[in-house]
Amino acid sequence: MAHMEWAEAQIAEIDLLSSMFPSLEEFEITDQLALAELVERVDNSINTLTSRPQFVIKLKIGTVTKEVIVTIRCTYPSEYPNVLPEISIRCSDLNRTQQTQLHSDLNTYLMDNCCGEVCVLFVLGWVRDNAHLYIENSSPTTWATKNVSDFPQTKDTFTRLWIYSHHIYNKIKRKNIMEWSKELELTGFSMPGKPGIVCVEGSKPACEEFWARVKVLTWKKIMIRHREDFTLDNQDAEGPTGECKNKLNRFTGFKEAMFDPHGNRGNHMDLGQLYQFLNDKGCGNVFQLYFGIEGK
């Protein structure tokens, strides 16, 4: 990508973030001069870059006990998005060890999934999905050794995660997805191929444990495209075990779903059949969230 294309990509991403976070309390450009110089270079077709735009985004993250503010500071190197941006994250509820681990895991995620493309939205999504794990636990990886019955249940929440992957081919990954969903007592489905889609639903801690395990596998790209959380009231929580959650389930059990595989490698599914499947489960609206078009 030429210098001019890098500059145009930087400006386009800042414009998008400005529209998503219109308040200065959420999004602030901390080096307006650098941004102005960048815009001037693009307007005058000057094919060199020296400006390093900087900005701050503040996210509200819900934990088990409270809502906290996570501050994300971003600086664009002149070669971004050909190289990764400089990202630092601060939160008063994180100690030094937790913060170091969070930065390390975020950088690993970006290296594995986002090199060569604009990625601040991926950063925001990752922080929204994972920051609470570092705040609530000394190390999120300790969850991998726990059973579903060990998870904290201070709030009874039913969660549904809609996960999108560039592709799911590997037999071991497919086996892990099936086995982990069963182990964690989750329902839903997995659609292998390109793209790969996974939906899991069940208790919030179990869904988050499933995501914590899946995301650290080697992927070209994987993200939570959509998340649904339903807090059960006290009356619901006092009912028979599983009764209230069963009312929220869209799926029975967990299965690998195939929809008329085709293509040279047999790795593309019939998206029309996928939409019909989702629609039959009362989830047809998710199709547009995945693919940006209405299903038919």
| Residues 251, 282: Cα–Cα separation, whole Å | 10
pLDDT at 150 over 50: no
Query: What's the pLDDT score for residue 11?
Result: 92
> What is the tens place of the pLDDT at every residue in 110-129?
888 887 889 999 899 889 88
Across the range 236-242, mean pLDDT stands at 46
Average pLDDT, the chain: 82
Q: Return the SS3 of 205.
A: helix
Query: What's the pLDDT score for residue 244?
Result: 55
Identify which of 227, 160, 223 has the alpha carbon closest to the alpha carbon of residue 196.
Answer: 223
The rounded Cα 59 to chain-centroid distance in angstroms is 14
Class of domain 146-291: alpha beta
Q: Do domains 3-141 and 146-291 have the same CATH topology?
A: no
pLDDT at 212 over 60: yes
- 219-237: string of b/e by CB count within 10 Å (b at 16+)? beebbbbbbeebebeeebe
pLDDT at 140 over 70: no
Residue with tokens 């604009």: 118
Range 3-141 classified under CATH 3.40.50.10490? no
Query: What's the pLDDT score for residue 240?
Result: 42
Annotated domain spans of the chain: 3-141, 146-291
| Paired residues of 57 in beta bridges | 27, 72
Residue with tokens 């009874």: 156
Q: Which residues contact 203 (CB under 8 A, 6 or more apart)?
A: 148, 151, 153, 156, 157, 158, 159, 185, 245
Of 156-160, 205-209, 230-234, 278-282, the range with the lowest mean pLDDT is 230-234
Q: Is the pTM of this model over 0.85?
A: no
| Residues 59, 41: Cα–Cα separation, whole Å | 31
Band (22; pLDDT cuts 50, 70, 90)? confident
